[in-house]
Amino acid sequence: MKNHQLTPDELCKKGETLAGKILKKKGYKILKRNYVSKYGEIDIVAYDRGTICFVEVKTRQSENYGPPELAVTKEKRKRIIRTALNYLVTNHIEDTDCRFDVVSILYKEDDNKPDIELFESAFTADGVLD
């Protein structure tokens, strides 16, 4: 199936599956996919060298609105941070380093080899919830 025939939901699922494979290849251990709380959703929660990573995956088929990673706006970051805090509290996780990563996936027209970029520590919680 060509990428231009995918619905937005199918493209999202395809991107998240690919991101999971990339993260595993880089040594991340996937803890949870599509974690949902009343605050929002986190695409992937993973563990990487002693750090819990909350990973947002952005998949696009064009750069008409800029690169995929720019879709992680301040409001989106707030929702991710609140959801991450909920994950930590719900799972009784304390005294563990955390970070927020973004995986950017761009499928060019009729190309099944997307451009993939992992942004480790793409943003922090500092000042975002103020």
Type of residue found at 28: Y
Report the distance separating Cα 64 and Cα 62, nearest Å.
5
Report the distance separating Cα 10 and Cα 59, nearest Å.
10
pLDDT of residue 80: 97
- Show the domain range for 54: 3-123
pLDDT of residue 1: 45
Look at the chain and report how many structural domains it folds into.
Answer: 1
Report the distance separating Cα 112 and Cα 86, nearest Å.
36
In a domain, 30, yes or no: yes
Q: How many CB atoms lie within 10 A of CB 11?
A: 18
pLDDT > 70? residue 28: yes
Q: Which of 126, 127, 50, 124 is nearest to 93 (CA)?
A: 50
Report the distance separating Cα 112 and Cα 91, nearest Å.
37
Higher pLDDT, 7 or 128: 7
Q: How many CB atoms lie within 10 A of CB 44?
A: 22
In a domain, 128, yes or no: no
In a domain, 130, yes or no: no
Q: What is the mean pLDDT of residues 63-78?
A: 92
Report the distance separating Cα 58 and Cα 65, nearest Å.
13
Report the distance separating Cα 90 and Cα 114, nearest Å.
35
| Tokens (6 digits) for 47 | 């563990």
Report the distance separating Cα 11 and Cα 64, nearest Å.
16
Q: Residue 128 — very low, low, confident or very high, per pLDDT cuts 50/70/90?
A: low
Q: Residue 111 — very low, low, confident or very high, per pLDDT cuts 50/70/90?
A: low
In a domain, 42, yes or no: yes
In a domain, 97, yes or no: yes
CATH code, domain with 38? 3.40.1350.10
Q: What is the mean pLDDT of residues 20-32?
A: 97
